Amino acid sequence: MEAIGAFALVVAGCGAIIADTTRDGALGTVGISLVFGLIIMVMVYAGGHLSGAHYNPAVTIAFALARHFPVREAVAYIGSQVAGAVAGAGLLLAAWTDRPADLGATVPSVATGTALLYEVVLTALLMFVITAVATDTRAVGAAAAIAIGGAVGLDALFGGPITGASMNPARSFGPALASGTWTDFWVYVAGPVAGAAIGVFAYELVRGRRPTGPPPITSER
């Protein structure tokens, strides 16, 4: 499920970037952001009850650090997410051999330090929302997918033109590998991992004492 989710994210999200590039800006920033938000929303609905719907190594690492996810399973999750993202980028490469828009590879349009700061903040905001809806029984669980997809779309609206709004090392790795575009790639590993850790612990700080009762299915698998 984690591989399928990451695959769908790359095919739909990066596919939207390619479509926008090859069709004279038919989607624009708003359209691309909507695609990224929607694909995450539908895949959370599709796989939340099966794997927890991380689809993102930074999310898995942050959950493991905050003891919401077993460390022994994190490696398998991350491997699956990266494999799915690579498969998605490979499919796009097969369809677009001329590699338009570098197949959706994330490359900063600003200085490296600014790009790193953006990726940290974007991912922290996303992870704060994920932690709230996935680990706190007081949250409205049925709306988790909408909240998470909305956070991704929102981040993409204001961060997409700056860094590509990756928030996800696997999402960046797949297109980078397929297109051979590695410009400042480290930003898309360090930024999301640091940001996710900040986001999960920020919510732990403001939530206070954890509520009693069984954890939701999306938090501890």
Terminal alpha carbon distance of the chain: 13
pLDDT, tens digit, 9 for 90 and up, residues 176-218: 999 999 999 999 999 999 999 999 999 999 987 665 444 444 4
Evaluate whether residue 163 is within a structural domain. yes
* Domain interval for residue 102: 2-207
Torsion sign over Cα 217, 56, 58, 124: negative
Evaluate whether residue 218 is within a structural domain. no
Please state, in angstroms and rounded to a whole number, the distance separating the CA atoms of residues 6 and 13.
Answer: 10
Evaluate whether residue 74 is within a structural domain. yes
CA–CA–CA angle 219, 150, 197 (5° rounding): 45
pLDDT, tens digit, 9 for 90 and up, residues 34-86: 999 999 999 999 999 999 999 999 999 999 999 999 999 999 999 999 999 99
Evaluate whether residue 214 is within a structural domain. no
Evaluate whether residue 217 is within a structural domain. no
**CATH for 24:** 1.20.1080.10
How many structural domains is the chain composed of? 1
Question: How much is the pLDDT for 209?
Answer: 62
Distances (CA, A) of 220 to 32, 99, 139, 217: 31, 39, 16, 6
